[in-house]
Structure 1
């Protein structure tokens, strides 16, 4: 049985997937080149850690493609002094990437077992500036504001409550719309929750499963 060369696979992921998608920020490329993605994946799927696919997690959740992770990080332009909120911890890999880039990361995960495993993986990688909170983003009571917010599942529309957590001038990466044609957007924060007043920049088209509670209302055709 041959052992997979994860370091080589990581290098190929960066050079053949992430960089061609215009992810060119040296800090982000360094994080993706050095952080072991396989350490955040269940043992039986580690050979797929660097494949150009979304990986399934428990409860129907998923781990985004490496290219989407890279683009989300580059879009947010996280700085070393930033406080970041992640909505949807999942495996904890993107949490770890944000932890390497920012001063502090708060990540929300609605499934207790995913939150627990992400905490363990972050500790194994010595990511001490990221905390994982077991909560539903649509019920979480929080008055704090953040410099950047990364939403890891799709939303039909940008929820006003997410806007309230963003500092004026802060940045939010989100994917919105109706499957199968959605758009990734960068939202600039305003003072309050008025989505209509925010500056929203369209980044690229993609398709992603919805966050729980964020899917569009069903439509009926007669």
Structure 2
């Protein structure tokens, strides 16, 4: 398989056509070897318009979804970013390639270990992977410039919003299968959240989120 041609096709025929036009995001998705983060048995599907199974009822988001997520965060470099749900590690690698310092939490130990191996193999710096439950992990208020949640929730947990600095952005998927909505929430100076709808999707539920404290607005 010609991975470079497949990567180019992914960018031009999928990601760009889904209104991902930020040149920095497109360059990062070209440079980070997505195939090295996909499970070996699905390596040839790394550039397909599919959610790739990772095991443990988790998936790797489609390239178009990851592209829209990265673009929505509008990272300039130097931001501190929290990722909830490391999964394959590919999105964390892209965040780091955009200049962020990434803390990534993964509740499934096997996925955390594999992501660490993939990040090391590719030579990505700037990502700390922790085997941890985001619903039980504590951070100080206003710790992060951005929070990315790679699984779905029925409602936005208040703790994720509290961890944002003023002006910070939260990417999250809210709703119930099969009708879920990817959102970008931005914390204003007054502490309120503005909401922008990005796209419709359907992702596995964030483990533990059904019983989490909920933030409604």
TM band (smaller chain): over 0.9
d(CA) in 2 for partners of 1:130, 1:79: 17
Task: Look up the match of 2:209.
Answer: 214
The secondary structure found in structure 2 opposite 1:108 is strand
d(CA) in 1 for partners of 2:57, 2:202: 16
d(CA) in 2 for partners of 1:167, 1:142: 12
Aligned length: 211
Task: Look up the match of 1:220.
Answer: none
Residues 1:141 and 2:101 are matched in the alignment: no
CA deviations over 1:147-202 (Å, ceiling 9, x no partner): 1111100111110011111111100111101221111111012579x7xx311111
Task: Look up the match of 1:102.
Answer: 99
Relative to its length, the structure with more strand (as a share) is 2
Task: Look up the match of 1:68.
Answer: 65
Larger radius of gyration: 1
CA separation of 1:205 and 1:127: change in aligned 2, threshold 3 A: same
Q: What TM-score, normalized by structure 1, do the two folds share?
A: 0.90
d(CA) in 2 for partners of 1:205, 1:112: 29
- What is the aligned counterpart of 1:36 among 26, 33, 38? 33
> 1:190-205 to 2 correspondence within 5 Å?
190=188, 197-205=192-200
> 1:84-123 to 2 correspondence within 5 Å?
84-123=81-120
Task: Look up the match of 1:51.
Answer: 48
d(CA) in 2 for partners of 1:104, 1:17: 28
Contiguous gaps of at least 5 residues in structure 1: 218-222
RMSD over aligned CA atoms reads 1.7
Contiguous gaps of at least 5 residues in structure 2: 213-217
